[in-house]
Amino acid sequence: MEPTEENEKSMTKAKKMTKRSKREEYIEKLSAQLKKWDTELEELEDKSEKQVEKMKAGFAKRMEALKTSRDQLREKMHRLEEVGEAAFSDLRKDAEKLWKDTKKGFEALRKELKK
């Protein structure tokens, strides 16, 4: 059987359809992957927002503790200004301990924020 013009057109059309099918399959595959990644990105975004909120809450709590320590130290300083030499020694020991603890708290928070 000799190829006719009509047969050649049919074969060319079939080849185009096969190529088109492969193209469509590829596009569908790509589309499915993109949808999957969209969902995954949304989930990761939600998780990261929760982590950020936890971190903020933790830092806020630590900042509040540092403010309290600072205020207590300021109060000790005012008391040191008011007391005589006899009470100064005992009050100074308390102030020194509070000073060290407050300093450690500030250093730890600074170090963590630099990460």
Assess contact for 73 and 102: CB atoms under 8 A: yes
DSSP structure class, residue 13: H
Asked if residue 69 has pLDDT above 60, the reply is yes
Q: Is the pTM of this model over 0.95?
A: no
**18-31 tens-digit pLDDT:** 667 888 999 999 99
Task: State whether the Cα torsion 49-52-54-57 is positive or negative.
Answer: negative
Provide the total of helices (H) and of strands (E) in the chain, helices listed first: 2, 0
pLDDT given for residue 1 in this prediction: 52
Q: Which amino acid is at 42?
A: E
